[in-house]
């Protein structure tokens, strides 16, 4: 048997302190509890309360817990007879608003709860006690007074809290576990520090912008809800649990404000940079996850991967998004504005853009590595897209380029196009060189314009383009190859030059097709054959071609200088310039542009089926001078 020995000292039993009273709101004074609108006064005031189920009424007892039920209404706090303090509030019916004078949070703390219904507390909350909001079970407790100054802090546990003004949480810190913050108005700033504990914490901005400038710290993951914007501006945030950006926008003024945890950006949601920053977080992307740089630079050093489904990235803002890791998202990349820098390569392949297509609706893709390849397909939307290569090496676009938008090449280095490219927008080479690495690298549907000092390179691969304009150079750094021009039937002028490449076999040839007119007004030294199959090839006054020309259809108009010419059946030679040895082989010689003289510096011969077409007037006629 266990024996118990008691010391000789006295045994003292301390009774627990009395529990705070619970009083039910009953302003009607009639039998039973009626609830509804009325005035809440202190202990020396009216008798709008009951603790007997409505059998008798009594005055309020400070620090008691209030129960509001039956019918909702506006309860007006009146402190003219003394302060009103409370230790709790429970709302069992919807439609209650507590307004009027200040309510004092009991020094021992106070708890507000509801049974799945909404209630609003518009009275100023003051005192040094802690306020707990819990067990709202689907209902929302809204705090709307911006003069709240209670200092004991706020505990949110299984709570849904509507935030209707700045300072509603007083001057203390907030401890949140399984809590939902709901913004009720625009332009809120929550300056309290928030301790994230236990279960999830959600912030619903609605359609508004809300800033959390206090420190957010704790392991709990934060979920952003609502179409509006959550601004994080505290550089000491510590959120290893990360963020689930479910809707709307999270805007951050620094990388530190996001903490170090993983970030999920769900479909259509946006992460916005309100300053330049470098983030090391891992990102999981839903379909159409948006990164908005505004005018800043946002560098992402972490991995960007798919969420549960196929993730895709959308770039907004005029600034720069720099991707520096091997990213595995597979739904593609859309550039709507600004610049994406692709800053990671495995082997020779750029892998910072995941595996899906890169779609341009404006904006620029900039290569930051030297001599690398991009396997992704490219889609040119209505806003078009720009490829910038300023590395000193080259970038090879191996994927297909499709779409209706324009394609612009910038940067002093070479961009090589290798896919089956059939986009219909215009092509502008504004700097550097655009080189065909396959016979389908250039688009036969595109109008090409070469700025002065730029080049279009065949690299031994014959290619077709819609039209040619500008002041650059067409050249060929490979085996002999032909550029076919005119598929879009437009008329253009090219004041640049056609040149051969670096060796004697790197001849550049030109073929004119389509119904339009191509005017060459520069001095071209290329030695590959020039062929006219349709439309008009016009060698303008002052322009020249060094290669021989064969006219199989359409019109060759020489108003400058051309080398030897052969005109076959269906073709015509005209103009007022000078040509070399010329053979009219079943075709037509029609000197002048109207009445005029063409000069042949060499032999001129006709076969029996050829035509010599002369325009005459009473005072003049076409002539051919052969010397």
Strand partners, 224: 203, 245
* The predicted structure's pLDDT at residue 463: 98
Query: pLDDT tens digits, residue range 139-178?
Result: 999 999 999 999 999 999 999 999 999 999 999 999 999 9
Query: pLDDT tens digits, residue range 12-68?
Result: 222 223 357 999 999 987 888 989 999 999 999 999 999 988 889 999 999 999 999
**Mean predicted confidence (pLDDT) in 283-310:** 97
Residue 608 predicted with pLDDT over 90 = yes
Residue 300 predicted with pLDDT over 60 = yes
Region at 328 (left for phi over 0; alpha for psi -120 to 50; beta for the rest): alpha
Residue 231 predicted with pLDDT over 90 = yes
Alpha-carbon distance of 595 to 582, in angstroms, equals 20
Nearest by Cα to 123 from 150, 100, 142: 100
**CB-neighbour burial class of residue 479 (10 A; exposed 0-12, middle 13-18, buried 19+):** middle
What percent of the chain shows pLDDT beyond 70?
97
Query: pLDDT tens digits, residue range 238-266?
Result: 999 999 999 999 999 999 999 999 999 99
Domain boundaries, the chain: 19-129
Region at 472 (left for phi over 0; alpha for psi -120 to 50; beta for the rest): beta
CB atoms within 10 A of CB 399: 20
Region at 585 (left for phi over 0; alpha for psi -120 to 50; beta for the rest): beta
* The predicted structure's pLDDT at residue 94: 93
Residue 479 predicted with pLDDT over 60 = yes
Nearest by Cα to 254 from 238, 229, 278: 278
CB atoms within 10 A of CB 594: 10
Alpha-carbon distance of 370 to 388, in angstroms, equals 12
* The predicted structure's pLDDT at residue 347: 87
Alpha-carbon distance of 519 to 537, in angstroms, equals 6
Return mean pLDDT, the chain.
Answer: 94
Alpha-carbon distance of 364 to 338, in angstroms, equals 6
Strand partners, 75: 38, 98
Residue 450 predicted with pLDDT over 90 = yes
Query: pLDDT tens digits, residue range 551-607?
Result: 999 999 999 999 999 999 999 999 999 999 999 999 999 999 999 999 999 999 999
* The predicted structure's pLDDT at residue 5: 27
Dihedral Cα 44, 45, 51, 52, nearest 10 deg: 110
pLDDT band for position 474 (cuts 50, 70, 90):
very high
Residue 10 predicted with pLDDT over 80 = no
Please give the biggest Cα pair distance in the chain.
150
Written as one string, the DSSP assignment of 531-572 is EE-SSEEEE-TT-EE-S-EEESSEEEEESSEE--EEEETTEE
For the question of whether the overall pTM of this predicted structure is more than 0.85, the answer is yes
């Amino acid at each position: 048997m266990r024996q118990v020995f008691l010391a000789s000292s006295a045994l003292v039993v301390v009774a627990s302190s009395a529990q705070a009273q619970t009083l039910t709101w009953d302003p009607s004074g009639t039998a039973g509890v009626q609830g509804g609108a009325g005035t809440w006064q202190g202990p020396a005031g009216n008798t709008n309360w009951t603790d007997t189920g409505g059998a008798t009424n009594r005055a309020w007892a400070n620090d008691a817990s209030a129960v509001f039920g039956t019918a909702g209404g506006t309860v007006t706090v009146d402190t003219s007879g003394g302060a009103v303090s409370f230790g709790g509030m429970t709302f069992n019916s919807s439609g209650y608003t507590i307004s009027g004078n200040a309510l004092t949070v009991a020094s021992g703390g106070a708890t507000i709860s509801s049974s799945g219904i909404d209630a609003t507390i518009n009275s100023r909350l003051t005192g040094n006690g802690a306020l707990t909001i819990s067990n709202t079970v689907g209902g929302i407790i809204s705090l709307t007074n911006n003069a709240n100054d209670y200092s004991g802090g706020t505990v949110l546990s299984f709570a849904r809290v509507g935030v209707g003004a700045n300072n509603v949480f007083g001057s203390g810190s907030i401890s949140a576990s399984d809590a939902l913050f709901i913004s009720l108005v625009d332009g809120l700033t929550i300056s309290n520090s928030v301790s994230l504990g236990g279960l999830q914490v959600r912030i619903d901005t609605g359609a508004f912008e809300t800033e959390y400038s206090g420190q957010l710290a704790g392991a709990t993951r934060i979920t952003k809800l609502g179409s509006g914007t959550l601004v994080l501006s505290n550089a000491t945030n510590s959120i290893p649990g990360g963020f689930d950006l479910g809707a709307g926008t999270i805007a951050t003024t620094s990388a530190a404000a996001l903490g170090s945890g993983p970030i999920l950006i769900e479909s259509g949601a946006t992460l916005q940079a309100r300053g330049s920053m470098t983030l090391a977080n891992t990102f999981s992307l839903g379909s159409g996850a948006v990164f908005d740089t505004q005018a800043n630079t946002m560098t992402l050093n972490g991995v960007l991967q798919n969420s549960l489904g196929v993730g895709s990235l959308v770039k907004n803002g005029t600034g720069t998004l720099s991707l520096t890791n091997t990213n595995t998202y597979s739904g593609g990349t859309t550039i709507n504005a600004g610049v994406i820098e692709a800053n990671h390569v495995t082997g020779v392949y750029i892998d910072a853009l995941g595996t899906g297509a890169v779609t341009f609706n404006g904006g620029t893709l900039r290569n930051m590595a030297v001599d690398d390849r991009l396997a992704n397909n490219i889609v040119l939307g209505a806003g078009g897209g720009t490829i910038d290569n300023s590395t000193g090496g080259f970038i090879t676009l191996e994927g297909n380029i499709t779409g209706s938008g324009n394609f612009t090449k910038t940067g002093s280095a070479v961009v090589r196009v290798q896919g089956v490219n059939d986009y219909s927008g215009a092509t502008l080479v504004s700097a550097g060189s655009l080189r065909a690495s396959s016979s389908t690298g250039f688009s036969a549907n595109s109008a090409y314009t070469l700025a002065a000092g730029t080049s279009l390179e065949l690299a031994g691969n014959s290619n077709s383009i819609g039209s040619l304009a500008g002041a650059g150079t067409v050249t060929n750094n490979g085996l002999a190859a032909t550029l076919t021009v005119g598929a879009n039937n437009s008329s253009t002028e090219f004041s640049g030059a056609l040149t051969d490449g670096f060796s004697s076999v790197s001849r550049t040839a030109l073929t004119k097709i389509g119904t339009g007119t191509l005017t060459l007004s520069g001095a071209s030294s290329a030695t590959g054959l020039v062929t006219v199959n349709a439309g008009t090839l016009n060698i303008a006054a002052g322009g020249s071609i060094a290669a021989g020309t064969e006219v199989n259809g359409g019109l060759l108009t020489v108003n400058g200088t051309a080398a030897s010419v052969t005109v076959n059946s269906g073709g015509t030679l005209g103009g007022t310039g000078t040509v070399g040895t010329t053979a009219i082989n079943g075709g037509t010689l029609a000197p002048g542009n109207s009445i005029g003289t063409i000069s042949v510096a060499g032999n001129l011969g006709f076969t029996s089926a050829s035509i010599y077409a002369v325009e005459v007037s009473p005072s003049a006629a076409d002539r051919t001078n052969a010397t």
